């Protein structure tokens, strides 16, 4: 009998949750039984997996009985509320929130970078922040060849980063403006349509927002370089899906541009997009729905002899969230780090 798992998706009705369902099917993850869980408000919806209609159930104390793997994407407070229950049930939780990312005993994993960390898990593995993942995939191949001395990131983050309701708000605001009406902001603090504003997460005493500090601290942990010099400025832009980032890298010595281009063209999870004749480089409309991070416009930094510039676009919902989580699950499966359950090959409701 093939090794199959009972998998639960916590937060199944959200933008990342529905993407997780799709990716489990697309990538043929060995699911024997799939449990779809959400808050009581979202429970009762019907979603489809492998041609079967599954009812979303409200999460409760018995939801994780017999579950091997939990893919959690319902927010930090929900993850914290159910983590002990999940681990006590013998399941592994891959958590997409920020709840456990910086906990010393919890691995923070991007499979293209630090897959070996999976073996150290104690029942919980953290999925990094979306902007961190996209940046890390793009710059780590260069860091492996020549360690980065300093990294400066500027993000251009789509509405998708704030969830499905934020994406709908971007659409309705755009339509309202085009019809001469006043746009209403409910999910975002300001108008997102035809506007940009610094990321709306809370600010610390130094003036850095939470999103920026996630990029700083999480990158240090993933790279295992606790003193890496890194700074970020995160901005919301009127794009529906897929984030973009401008990255400036400083090395100890010059990094040949042609060598950098060759390294990135062969790196896993990256697609090189550069047409200098037509000025065609990564764009969010082309990155949307794609697994790879699109990287291009690789060039020498004119202001520093050891500097390198690059530009990227990546699907925040896929590689920035759901895909990375499923890749971690695949990693656990390949290494025998998930408890197998002898279930039938049919999907049950």
So where are the chain's domains? 5-128+322-334, 131-316
Q: What's the pLDDT at 340?
A: 60
| Cα–Cα separations (whole angstroms), residue 329 to 98, 166, 237, 342 | 18, 28, 31, 18
Is the pLDDT at 34 greater than 90, yes or no?
Answer: yes
Question: Count of CB atoms within 10 A of residue 278's CB?
Answer: 6
**pLDDT band with cut points at 50, 70 and 90 for residue 41:** confident
Q: Output the six-digit token pair for 305.
A: 């002899």
Q: Which among 111, 105, 117 is positioned nearest to 140, based on CA atoms?
A: 111
Q: Output the six-digit token pair for 251.
A: 């090395």
Q: What is the pLDDT of residues 53-108, one digit of tens each?
A: 999 999 999 999 999 999 999 999 999 999 999 999 999 999 999 999 999 999 99
Superfamily of domain 5-128+322-334: NAD(P)-binding Rossmann-like Domain (3.40.50.720)
| Cα–Cα separations (whole angstroms), residue 149 to 65, 293, 299, 316 | 47, 23, 17, 27
Percentage of the residues of the chain whose pLDDT score is greater than 90: 93
3-state SS, the chain, equals: CCCCEEEEEECCCCHHHHHHHHHHHHCCCCEEEEEEEECCCCCCCEEEECCEEEECEECCCCCCCCCCEEEECCCHHHHHHHHHHHHHCCCEEEECCCCCCCCCCCCECCCCCCHHHHHHCCCEEECCCHHHHHHHHHHHHHHHHCCEEEEEEEEEECHHHHCHHHHHHHHHHHHHHHCCCCCCCCCCCCCCCCCCEECCCCECCCCCEHHHHHHHHHHHHHHCCCCCEEEEEEEECCCCCCEEEEEEEEECCCCCHHHHHHHHHHCCCEEECCECCCCECCCHHHHCCCCCEEEEEEEECCCCCCEEEEEEEECCCHHHHHHHHHHHHHHHHHCCCCCCCCCCCCCCC
Question: Count of CB atoms within 10 A of residue 268's CB?
Answer: 10
Q: What is the pLDDT of residues 304-324, one digit of tens each?
A: 999 999 999 999 999 999 999
The residue assigned the tokens 């994993």 is 109
Q: With contact defined as beta carbons under 8 Å apart, do 165 and 253 qualify?
A: no
| Cα–Cα separations (whole angstroms), residue 115 to 147, 164, 334 | 19, 30, 11
**pLDDT band with cut points at 50, 70 and 90 for residue 345:** very low
> Strand 307-314 relative to strand 243-251: parallel, antiparallel, unpaired?
antiparallel
Catalytic positions, please?
A: 130, 243
Is the pLDDT at 343 greater than 50, yes or no?
Answer: no
> Does domain 131-316 fall into CATH 3.40.50.800?
no
Q: Which among 223, 222, 203 is positioned nearest to 213, based on CA atoms?
A: 203
Q: What's the pLDDT at 172?
A: 97
Is the pLDDT at 250 greater than 70, yes or no?
Answer: yes
Is the pLDDT at 180 greater than 60, yes or no?
Answer: yes
Q: What's the pLDDT at 40?
A: 86
Give CA–CA dist 229/224, Å, rounded.
13
């Amino acid at each position: 009998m093939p090794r199959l798992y009972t998998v639960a998706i916590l937060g199944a009705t959200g933008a990342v949750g529905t993407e997780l369902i799709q990716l489990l099917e697309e990538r043929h993850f060995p699911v024997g039984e799939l449990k779809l869980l959400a808050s009581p408000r979202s429970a009762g919806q019907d979603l489809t997996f492998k041609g079967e209609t599954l009812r979303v159930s409200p999460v409760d104390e018995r939801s994780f009985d017999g579950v091997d793997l939990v893919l959690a994407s319902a927010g930090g407070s929900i993850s914290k509320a159910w983590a002990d229950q999940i681990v006590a049930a013998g399941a592994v939780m891959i958590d997409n929130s920020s709840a456990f990312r910086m906990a010393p005993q919890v691995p923070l994993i991007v499979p293209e970078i630090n897959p070996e960390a999976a073996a150290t898990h104690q029942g919980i593995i953290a999925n990094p922040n979306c902007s961190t993942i996209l940046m890390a995939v793009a710059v780590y191949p260069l860091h492996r060849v020549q360690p980065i001395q300093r990294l400066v990131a500027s993000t251009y983050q789509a509405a998708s980063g704030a969830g499905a309701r934020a994406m709908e708000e971007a659409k309705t605001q755009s339509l309202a403006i085009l019809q001469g009406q006043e746009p209403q902001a409910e999910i975002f603090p300001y108008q997102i349509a035809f506007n940009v504003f610094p990321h709306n997460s809370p600010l610390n005493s130094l003036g850095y927002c939470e999103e920026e500090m996630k990029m700083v601290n999480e990158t240090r942990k993933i790279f295992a370089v606790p003193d890496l010099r890194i700074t970020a400025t995160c901005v919301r832009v009127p794009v529906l899906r897929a984030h973009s980032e401008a990255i400036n890298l400083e090395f100890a010595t010059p990094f040949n541009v042609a060598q950098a281009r060759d390294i990135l063209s062969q790196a896993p999870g990256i697609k090189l997009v550069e047409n200098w004749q037509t000025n065609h480089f990564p764009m969010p409309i082309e990155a949307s729905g794609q697994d790879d991070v699109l990287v291009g416009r690789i060039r020498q930094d004119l202001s520093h002899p050891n500097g390198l510039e690059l530009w990227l676009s990546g699907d925040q919902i896929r590689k920035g969230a759901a895909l990375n989580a499923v890749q971690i699950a695949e990693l656990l499966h390949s290494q025998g780090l998930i408890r197998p359950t002898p279930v039938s090959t049919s999907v049950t409701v």
